Amino acid sequence: MADRPSVHREVERKLRVDAQFVLVDLVAQGAVARVVPGQPFTLSAVYHDTSDLRLLRWGATLRRREGGPDAGWHLKLPVLGADRGTRDELHLPLWASNTGVVPAELADVVAPLARGERLTPVAWVNTVRTPSILFDSAGVDVAELVDDQVHVRNQLGQTVAAFREIEVEARGSDGPAVAVVDRIAEVLMAHGAEPSDVSKAAAALGAQAGAPPDIVVGRLPVADDRAGEALRSIIALHARAFVLADVAVRRGLADSVHQLRVSARRLRSTLRTLEPLLEGDWARTVEEELSWLASEMGLIRDTEVLAGRLSAEAESLGDPDGGLVHDAIGAVLTRRLDGARGSALAALRSERHDLLLEDLVRGSQDPPTTALADQPSGEVLPVLAERAWRRLERAVRGRGHDPQAWHRVRIRAKRVRYAVESIEPLMPTGGRRLARRLSEVTEVLGEWQDAQVARGVLREMSAREGTSPATAFALGRLSEREVSRQAASQAAFDQLWPQVRQAAKHVHWA
């Protein structure tokens, strides 16, 4: 097995030109201060994908390329929130594996996109590349421009496409670097180049490579839409976020576990609130599986948050209590976190998770619905959201001092918030304001829940065999602070709740 892939943030602009295109003098055009041309060389790449090109349709490319300074395996993935010319490139050396056998490290990353389909060669691309390094007035190399003559072959070795392409790649990924490549691209387009945002393989593989991914997010629902179509769009929105967060977790990206849990919660909440629209066991099965996966991911996230919380609190205790708490945290939470990571990754790589992904794709395309789904969205969805609101009101009235009751209020507040956010365009008045108020409530109750979890773990640490009386005392000091935090959260909720009810009065539910 190869080492972990190296990662490079790529910002480039692709441009198509004809065979007679004359590369414009970028210095004379004021785009750069100096151009240093290099010698042409040949690249040979084999692109890998599923038989129905699932990776390409998600905007990902996977290839094994020989020749040039960066020969090896390259997996390019879209960057969430960035333009299509910005991608993360994961790189492994050629020796990681032979053509036709995708390295496990890369296959694992794209597993949520491939969903069990085999990754095999789909295109063979030969490129004669002529590079140039571009410098600014300070003598800094700011970009590389490559002029590519491209030939794409099929499995029989026959040429199926031939074209010329210019790529301009920034040396960095910040704002100034992007501005440089944009300026160069504008100059080239002014002289006849055409912008392109597809890979060489996708450009040659035809319409299938440019088809939508398996999960397509539609427009926001409007009142006259069928409720079933609005349901499909809402499921697709959260299912897409779930799949992309799954990829991010496998890459070990910051906050990815949290984002996966959020998307799972939103999906579960949507299915629970809109349950009257769904027929059969599909919704219940997906809810259960999302709950299972969120629980597996939750142990990582909760342990990370808890370790950070208690470590920060320990600092304020001073010596010797702070040091005793740090030792106790290291003895319990570090081991727990290691186990949680292993368990979570095993869950993501399980057949159970594969089946969940298939269910989500099916639900995002054609969820099984009841007759109610044929009614107009504006008449159906707000009524279902109001039902969730009434359940929240009942939970708040019955909360008392029971920790489980407070946890139930938090869960139902999230459910209403997610429902209102999803169908807010269907609410002529008040929906956005209520969602904001509920967001404040869930934040306050999230602090309450974190304190509740912390108290339980502190009690567990104190009861461990071998815990000294001094350490138990220090842990007790922290537990007392968590009790105070919970009391403050409950008081903050009591202040917020009248504002939430007032906001709900202004909502036009149906």
Contact predicate 143/154, CB 8 Å = no
Specify the 3-state DSSP secondary structure of 383.
helix
Beta bridge partner(s), residue 147:
130, 166
Contact predicate 306/453, CB 8 Å = yes
Contact predicate 48/120, CB 8 Å = yes
Provide the 8-state DSSP code for 318.
-
Give the residue with greater pLDDT, 197 vs 136. 136
Taking residues 446-472, report their average pLDDT. 90
Mean residue pLDDT across the chain = 91
For domain 227-361+378-505, say whether CATH 2.40.110.10 is its number: no
What percentage of the chain carries pLDDT values higher than 70? 99
**Can you tell me the distance from the alpha carbon of 151 to that of 124, in angstroms, rounded to the nearest whole number?**
8
Tell me: pLDDT of 124 over 70: yes
Taking residues 33-49, report their average pLDDT. 96
Taking residues 369-383, report their average pLDDT. 94
Q: How many angstroms separate the first and last alpha carbons of the chain? A: 58
Question: What is residue 187's predicted lDDT score, i.e. its pLDDT?
Answer: 96
Question: What is residue 3's predicted lDDT score, i.e. its pLDDT?
Answer: 67
Contact predicate 153/78, CB 8 Å = no
Give this prediction's pTM: 0.90
**Can you tell me the distance from the alpha carbon of 93 to that of 2, in angstroms, rounded to the nearest whole number?**
8
Give the residue with greater pLDDT, 332 vs 372. 372
Q: Is 368 exposed, middle or buried (0-12, 13-18, 19+ CB in 10 A)?
A: middle
Question: What is residue 408's predicted lDDT score, i.e. its pLDDT?
Answer: 94
**Cis upstream peptide for 498 (omega within 30°):** no
**Can you tell me the distance from the alpha carbon of 158 to that of 148, in angstroms, rounded to the nearest whole number?**
19
Q: Where in the chain is the domain with CATH 2.40.320.10?
A: 6-205
Closest listed residue to residue 295, CA positions, set 358, 229, 352, 236 = 352
**Can you tell me the distance from the alpha carbon of 119 to that of 489, in angstroms, rounded to the nearest whole number?**
51
Structure tokens at 149: 């003559």
Beta bridge partner(s), residue 159:
153
Tell me: pLDDT of 204 over 80: no
Q: What is the pLDDT confidence band of residue 115, given thresholds at 50, 70 and 90?
A: very high
Contact predicate 402/490, CB 8 Å = no
Tell me: pLDDT of 159 over 90: no
CB count within 10 Å of CB 334 equals: 12
Closest listed residue to residue 16, CA positions, set 232, 200, 144 = 200
Tell me: pLDDT of 338 over 70: yes
* Phi and psi based region of residue 54 (left: phi greater than 0; alpha: psi -120 to 50; beta: remaining): alpha
Structure tokens at 120: 């095999």
Sign of dihedral through CA atoms 386, 387, 390, 396? negative
Question: What is residue 116's predicted lDDT score, i.e. its pLDDT?
Answer: 92
**Can you tell me the distance from the alpha carbon of 389 to that of 419, in angstroms, rounded to the nearest whole number?**
9
Question: What is residue 43's predicted lDDT score, i.e. its pLDDT?
Answer: 97
Q: Determine the CATH number of domain 6-205.
A: 2.40.320.10
Q: Where in the chain is the domain with CATH 1.40.20.10?
A: 227-361+378-505
Give the residue with greater pLDDT, 2 vs 406. 406
Among 333-342, 375-384, 406-415, 449-458, name the one with the lowest average pLDDT.
333-342
Which residues are CB-neighbours of 402 under 8 A, at least 6 positions away?
A: none
Question: What is residue 2's predicted lDDT score, i.e. its pLDDT?
Answer: 54
Among 54-58, 129-133, 164-168, 255-259, name the one with the lowest average pLDDT.
255-259
Tell me: pLDDT of 349 over 70: yes
Interstrand relation of 41-49 and 120-135 (parallel, antiparallel or unpaired): antiparallel
What percentage of the chain carries pLDDT values higher than 90? 69
pLDDT tens-digit map of 492-502: 999 999 999 99
pLDDT tens-digit map of 129-140: 999 999 999 999
Beta bridge partner(s), residue 78:
87
Contact predicate 187/31, CB 8 Å = yes
**Can you tell me the distance from the alpha carbon of 11 to that of 120, in angstroms, rounded to the nearest whole number?**
27
C-alpha distance from residue 503 to each of 79, 361, 426, 500 (Å): 37, 36, 16, 5
Taking residues 289-293, report their average pLDDT. 94
